[in-house]
Every structure is written in C-alpha cells, then in structure tokens.
Amino acid sequence: MISVSQLTKKYNNVQVLNIEHLEIPKGQSFGLVGNNGAGKTTFFSLLLDLIQPSSGYINNNDVLVHESEAWKPFTSSFIDESFLIGYLTAEEYFYFIGELRNQNKADVDKLLSNFQDFFHDEILGKKKYLRDLSKGNQKKAGIVAALIGNPEVIILDEPFANLDPTTQIRLKQILKDLAEKQGVTILVSSHDLMHVTDVCERIVVLEKGDIVKDLQTSEATLKELEQHFSGQFMV
Amino acid sequence: MIRRFISMEWKQFFRASYFQKGLAIKILLVLAALYFGGIAILSGAGLFFILKKAIPEVDPIVTINNFLIFWILFEMLIRFFMQQLPVMNIKPLMIIPIKRNTVIHYLLGKTTLSFFNFLPLFFFLPFAIVLMTQGYPVTNVVCWFFSVMFLSLGLNYLNFLINKNNAVFYAIAGLLMILIGLEYFQIYNIIEPIGEGFNHLYKHPYLVIIPLVFMMGMYFLNYKYIKQGFYLDDAVSKKVKEVNATDLSWMDRFGSVAPFLKNDIKLIWRNVRPKQVMFMSFMFLFYGLIFYTQEIYREMPAFLAFASMFVTGGFLMTFGQLVPSWDSEYYKMLMSQNIPYKKYLESKWYLMVVAVAISFVLSTPYLYFGWEIFGMIAAGALFNVGLNSFITLFGGALNRVPIELNVKAKAFSNTNGFNPTQMLIALPKFLLPMLLFYIPYKLINFNAGLIILGLSGVLGLVFRNFFLNKIESIYQKGKYKTISAFSEKK
C-alpha cells in the first residue's frame, strides 16, 4: 500500500528523517514509536504532503504523494487539533468532512451511530463549538472524523494521548477491527508502548530520524521495547 | 511587585513574534501612530478657530459641548470593536502568593495606557490650551477638560463590562443612529438639552465631581467583577457560548461549492475577527459621503470613480485580502483533505460577489446625489465583481499571516496583511478604476468612462475560469510555505 524510498528531510542542513526503505502492506496496522524529536510527526507530515521531502519519495497506492493529489480521496488523518474547525459543532464538522468525502448526511449518521459509546454522550447534541470542548473530546471528534468516508489509509498521530482509559480501550478495539476485518491500513504513532503493542501487528522504532528497530508484534515485543528505551536512558 | 509585572510585560512585548517582523513595518506603524496623533493634536488646536469661523454666533465651547455626546457614543463604538480586554497571564499567578487586589489593580491600571485613552487626550488638550490662551477662565477650562477625560476613562472601564454583551452594542449603535437622525432631519433638537448638560460642566467647575464619580464607579464595578471571576472556571477561562445553529441546507443548491460556502457563512457569523471586518466593510458604504458632498471632487471625476469603487467594495477588500488566512487555524486539515482548491477559491469569490451585490443594494440612497453618481457606483460594483475580486484573491495568495479567528484585532499591533507585497497589490485596486474611467472620460465623455469601467468588470467575468486557474496555481506553488507559516506559533 505504502512504500517509502530514500526519504530524507532536512531543516537547515540538519537531518531529521532518513528512511532508506519502508514497505507497509495493505491492511497492516503499523505502529511508530520513538522519543521526542525522533521524526514521527515529520514522517506523518510527509505522508500527507504537508512538508516537502528533501530527497526520496513516498508512494501511496501507486500515487507519488508529493506529485499528485490522487492519494487524498482514500487517505484520511488526524494529526492534531489544527485539523478541527473550531467554530463548528461536532456534527457540523462531521457533515462537512462527509461532504468533502462524498458522503451524505445519512451515511455520516450511520457511521456515527457506531460510535455512541465511544463518544460517551459528550460530543453529539451538545450545542458546543469544537473549540470549547476539552482536549480529550476534541481528540475523539478528530479521530472519528478521520474514519468518515471509508478511507483505505488512516493516519493518526498520538491517538491515545489525552483520552480517558475507557475510550483508549474502545479506540484500540475500533482500530483493530478496521485493520483486521476491513483491510484498512492504519498508521499510528504513540509514546505509550503498551497501547501500541496492543493495537499494531508491526512496530517500527525511530531514533533521531533513523529506523533502529522493525518488529513483528509478539509476546516478547513489549519487553523488548521497554528494554530498548530504558537502555537509552541509562547510557 | 508592580515592578515585576512591568518587566514581564516588557518581555512579553519585545519577545512577541510580531515585534520581530521587518523594520519597515515597525517604522510604518510608528509613522501611522504619529500621523493619527498629529492629526488629533492639529485638529484639536485648530478646532477653536474653525468653529469660530464656521459658526460665529455661537461660542465654540458651546458647539463642542453640543457635539460631545456624539463623540462619546462614537468613542464607545470604536472601543467596543477595537479595544481588547487586557489579558495578563493570570493563570500562573493564581497559585503564587500575590494579593489578588494587586493583580487586579495592575490589570485595570494598565488599560489606562491604551491608545484609545490617548486619542481624546491628544485632541482635547490642545483645544483646552487654545481656549486658555484665548482668555477663557482657567479653572473652568481645566475642570471641563478633566471632566471629558474622566468620562473617556469611564468609558474605558464601561467597555470592559459590556464587552461580552452584544445587546449593549446594538443599543448604543441604535441610540447613535436615532440621535443623528433626529438632528439631521430636524425632528427634535436633541442636541441642545444634552449639550446644555455639558455646558453646566463647563460653567460650574465643581461639577467635575460627577464624571469623576462616574469613572470611579466604573472602575469599582470592574474591580468587583474581576475579583468575583478570579477563579479558573470564570473569567480566566473563556466563556462558552451556546451554539446558534442555523439550517443552511438551502445553500446546497450551489452544488459543489456549497460545503465551503456554508462554512464561510459560519466562519463570519461565529467569530469575533471576521465580524469586526463586517463592521468595517459596512463603514465603507459611507465612504461616498465624503467625496460626493464636496464640490471640489465634483470637478475630479477620477476620484469619484475611486470612491464609488470603495462604496461597494468594502467587504471584498477587507475580507478578500486575508483569504487563505481566515482558514489558517485548520489549514493543515484542508490541505490533507479531499479538497479541490478551485472550489475553495470559488466559494470565497461567490461570497465576495454576494457582498458587493448587497452593498450595491444598500447604496441606493446615493441616488440622492443623482443618476451620474449612482451610475458610477454601479460601474464600480461591476469592476469589483469582475476584476477587483480576482486582484484581491491574488494578493491574498501572497499573504501568509495566520489569523486568530476569535480574537479581536488590536489597534496598531495588528500587522496582518501589512507588508510591502500587500501594498504593491493594493495599488492596482486603487489606480485601475481611476484609469479605466478617466482615460475614456477625457477622450470621449462621461458615459464612455462609465461604460468602460463597467465593461472591464464584465470582461473579468468572462475570463473568470482563466483567472481562477491562475490564482489556483499560485496557491499550489506556495502550499508548503503557507502551511509552515500558518502553523507557526503566535
């Protein structure tokens, strides 16, 4: 689905990302972990063509991301709160995104009805603008908006941060289902090793822009990751 | 403690990102401040003589007093729209052992240094000095001067009390309209009784106590209000407004542009900053009054063409020049969503066209000045729709300043859209209508000028797709730059 080749990103001659080769097959749930400044958000921004690669390219379903816009109809994402339109209510925002993705009101309503318990009655019908919602609720709205319109690739940056435990568990289930049952390719980054190992079948560790580990998730993965990151700190 | 606060403010000011903008802008801003200050001083000093000459049978101070109520109401309106509540970072101070009173007094004291308080000072101080040199009794003049200053400061505090209340604004705006209407159509001479009140302030110096009490009362009310709200869940956190959702689904008939159009309407309706722009563009409607009433300009139709373009072009220019910036808060989302850029631009264009149409309808009272003037307004409107809209959108494409939607623009610290490129782009907006009118006017006649000016707009409409495509490609080219500029922290 997604293949990355010779991808680098430099800011003022400082290299912040350098991925020689990365292949993400369709329907994989892919986790990206790394400390602050490891290049997670940079990688996602490149995937969404929000910044320009210094060299190399990303190929998303046979579309060169930095050259064509044809990846947009089947790719959706939630990176941060700047993906929300603050002066809309959650419903209005969902319908807006729906209209952009050729979904009518009924389609969106149908999708939303699956997320009643995910919203925990705090998002819909509240007569509140998105800018007035709490950080966690904003995040919920943004994540669900990224699921509108049957995307084939979903990119979520730090989806678990700021969420309450109940929602974290629900979200993990939703993401797993999407990847396993519907064949959606899911890219997730997180600081929380446990969540990532729960959700993702494959985990890549970034360190200062380089891929240092590429693991198929198994029983031992969490231990290995914990060791990796604690080892760093002891040096 | 106060000293520490001041040093914090100092750092906040000099380390703010807008301060690190180009030197040219700073110089321009200083010049602008000097210009307005200078104008205030000069007109304040000259006013006495002007009034004496214009209305020799009435004492200038009486005339001034008669019009003082308008000054006050107008000042109130301007303050309501332009003056921001001072926000000190209260949150980190709440858990530190500083007396609340100190913080509040400091906060309120700080507002005294606002530009809006200096404007009346600059205006009335020279006037008062001239009065004294002209032999008016010193005590009376000084006390009257202080009365006016106290009133102005009182307004300063009153503004903060009513700032969150639109009803008060409409009440004041309505009152102003009624007063002007009553006076203009000479239905009831409302000015004199009120002016008489101000005259009393002048005649009986001890009455200065009334404005003083008014000001202190306002200060005290503010103090109480802030003190009450000195908790996280009140004043410090923003007020959460209940949504007023209107059904805009009738707009779906606009087809693929509809989602954006609906969004833009909500953008304007639900955010402070675009509302401010709406108000400003409403003011543009009155621009013609300055030009059409002067005999001098009657002889210079090129200037009239310029003014006519302004009458209907207010919204187009003030809103349009900030076009991608309005969506700066969520620009990243727009760029990664399934959005055809052209539809986005088209929606903004429709919005501007509708605004021109509405302004044009509202400008029908200008028929009073005759068909020639109205014809110019019509031609100007066509020019706006067909050419000016594209020039403005083009200028917007070069403008990469993020906007905080729900924060009022501050006078003189708002440098949005205030850069050399922007100014260069502004030139054709002004010069083009003048030239398009003036050349055929000189060569043939007045009507030819009108027709050419109008035709230029029609021509623009014919080539609409060409222009939109060109502008779109500029947007595409600047995409990465725009994204990174918009995501910069303010």
Q: What is the pLDDT of residues B11-53, one digit of tens each?
A: 766 665 555 555 666 677 677 777 877 887 888 888 888 888 8
| A-chain residues near B270 (CB < 8 A) | 87, 129
- Closest CB from B241, B270, B480 relative to A52: B480
A216 touches chain B (CB under 8 A): no
Mutate to test the interface with A, among B260, B271, B327, B337 (most CBs of A within 10 A): B337
Q: Measure in Å the smallest separation between the Cα of B328 and chain A Cα atoms.
A: 9
| B-chain residues near A101 (CB < 8 A) | 337-338
Reply yes or no on whether the pLDDT at B90 is more than 50: yes
| A-chain residues near B338 (CB < 8 A) | 72-73, 100-101, 149
First to last CA, chain B: 27
B255's CB contacts (< 8 A; 6+ apart) are none
| B-chain residues near A79 (CB < 8 A) | 332, 336
Specify the range with the lowest mean pLDDT, choosing from A25-29, B236-240, B356-360, B436-440: B236-240
Mean pLDDT for B391-413 is 74
Q: Measure in Å the smallest separation between the Cα of B417 and chain A Cα atoms.
A: 22
A125 touches chain B (CB under 8 A): no
A189 touches chain B (CB under 8 A): no
- A154: three-class secondary structure by DSSP: strand
pLDDT beneath 50: ranges in chain A: 234-235
| Shortest CA distance from B486: residue in chain A | A82
pLDDT digits (tens, 9 = 90+) for B142-171: 888 899 899 888 888 888 777 666 676 777
Cα of B322 vs its chain's centroid, Å? 15
Cα of A21 vs its chain's centroid, Å? 20
Quote the pLDDT of residue A2: 92
- Which pLDDT band holds residue B417 (cuts at 50, 70, 90)? very low
Q: Are B351 and B261 in contact (CB under 8 A)?
A: yes
Residue A155: left (phi > 0), alpha (psi -120 to 50), or beta? beta
Reply yes or no on whether the pLDDT at B139 is more than 70: yes
Q: Are B70 and B182 in contact (CB under 8 A)?
A: no
- Closest CB from A50, A85, A89 relative to B336: A50
- Which pLDDT band holds residue B383 (cuts at 50, 70, 90)? very high
- Which pLDDT band holds residue B285 (cuts at 50, 70, 90)? confident
Mutate to test the interface with A, among B243, B336, B472, B473 (most CBs of A within 10 A): B336
Task: Tell me the two tokens of residue B312.
Answer: 């209907």
Q: Are B191 and B67 in contact (CB under 8 A)?
A: yes
Q: Do A79 and B339 touch (CB under 8 A)?
A: no
| Shortest CA distance from B245: residue in chain A | A127
Task: Tell me the two tokens of residue A103.
Answer: 């979904």
Quote the pLDDT of residue A234: 47
Q: How far apart are CA B383 and CA A148, in angstroms?
A: 42
Quote the pLDDT of residue A159: 93
Quote the pLDDT of residue A202: 94
Q: Do B338 and A72 touch (CB under 8 A)?
A: yes
Q: Are strands A202-207 and A210-216 parallel, antiparallel or unpaired?
A: antiparallel
A143 touches chain B (CB under 8 A): no
Mutate to test the interface with A, among B270, B333, B486 (most CBs of A within 10 A): B333
CA distances from B288 to A17, B38, B47, B179, B305 (A): 58, 25, 24, 21, 10
Q: How far apart are CA B207 and CA B201, in angstroms?
A: 6
| B-chain residues near A89 (CB < 8 A) | 243, 245
Q: Give the residue from B359, B382, B185, B182 showing the smallest Cα distance to B288.
A: B359
Mutate to test the interface with B, among A50, A81, A133 (most CBs of B within 10 A): A50
Whose tokens are 């400008």? That residue is B363
Write down the ipTM of this complex.
0.88
Q: Do B333 and A128 touch (CB under 8 A)?
A: no
Question: What are the residues facing A27 on neighbouring strands?
Answer: none
Mean pLDDT for B109-130 is 82
Which H or E run contains A15?
strand A14-24
- Which pLDDT band holds residue B341 (cuts at 50, 70, 90)? confident
Q: What percent of chain B has pLDDT over 90?
A: 8
Q: Do B245 and A87 touch (CB under 8 A)?
A: no
| Shortest CA distance from A82: residue in chain B | B330
- Which pLDDT band holds residue B244 (cuts at 50, 70, 90)? low
- Closest CB from B245, B329, B339 relative to A89: B245
Query: CB neighbours (10 Å) of residue B433?
Result: 28
* 3-state DSSP helix/strand/coil % of chain B, to nearest 5: 80, 0, 20
Q: What percent of chain B has pLDDT over 70?
A: 84
Q: How far apart are CA B352 and CA B257, in angstroms?
A: 14
For residues B421 and A1, the model is more confident at A1
> How many residue pairs from chains A and B have C-beta atoms closer than 8 A?
82
Q: How far apart are CA B433 and CA B453, in angstroms?
A: 7
| Shortest CA distance from A94: residue in chain B | B259
Q: Do A128 and B339 touch (CB under 8 A)?
A: no
| B-chain residues near A129 (CB < 8 A) | 241, 243, 270
Quote the pLDDT of residue B258: 84
Q: Measure in Å the smallest separation between the Cα of A226 and chain B Cα atoms.
A: 33
| Shortest CA distance from B483: residue in chain A | A50
A82 touches chain B (CB under 8 A): yes
Q: Which domains does chain A carry? A: 2-234 (3.40.50.300)
Q: How far apart are CA B283 and CA B273, in angstroms?
A: 16
| Shortest CA distance from B404: residue in chain A | A86
| Shortest CA distance from B258: residue in chain A | A99
Reply yes or no on whether the pLDDT at B394 is more than 50: yes
Cα of A147 vs its chain's centroid, Å? 11
- Closest CB from A48, A82, A101 relative to B487: A82
- A5: three-class secondary structure by DSSP: strand
Residues 16-35 of A with CB under 8 A from B: none
Per the prediction, chain B carries an average pLDDT of: 80
| Shortest CA distance from A73: residue in chain B | B338
Reply yes or no on whether the pLDDT at B208 is more than 70: yes
- B297: three-class secondary structure by DSSP: helix
Q: State the sign of the Cα–Cα–Cα–Cα dihedral A162, A168, A174, A175.
A: positive
Task: Tell me the two tokens of residue B2.
Answer: 């106060």
Q: How far apart are CA B263 and CA B272, in angstroms?
A: 15
Quote the pLDDT of residue A33: 93
Q: Do B484 and A87 touch (CB under 8 A)?
A: no
A228 touches chain B (CB under 8 A): no
Q: How far apart are CA B342 and CA B473, in angstroms?
A: 9
Q: Measure in Å the smallest separation between the Cα of A79 and chain B Cα atoms.
A: 9
Q: Do B330 and A88 touch (CB under 8 A)?
A: no
- Closest CB from A52, A83, A89 relative to B332: A83
Quote the pLDDT of residue A138: 93
Question: What are the residues facing A10 on neighbouring strands?
Answer: A15
Reply yes or no on whether the pLDDT at B232 is more than 60: no
Query: For residue B197, with 0-12 CB atoms within 10 Å meaning exposed, 13-18 middle and 19 or more buried, which class applies?
Result: middle
Q: How far apart are CA B16 and CA B323, in angstroms?
A: 24
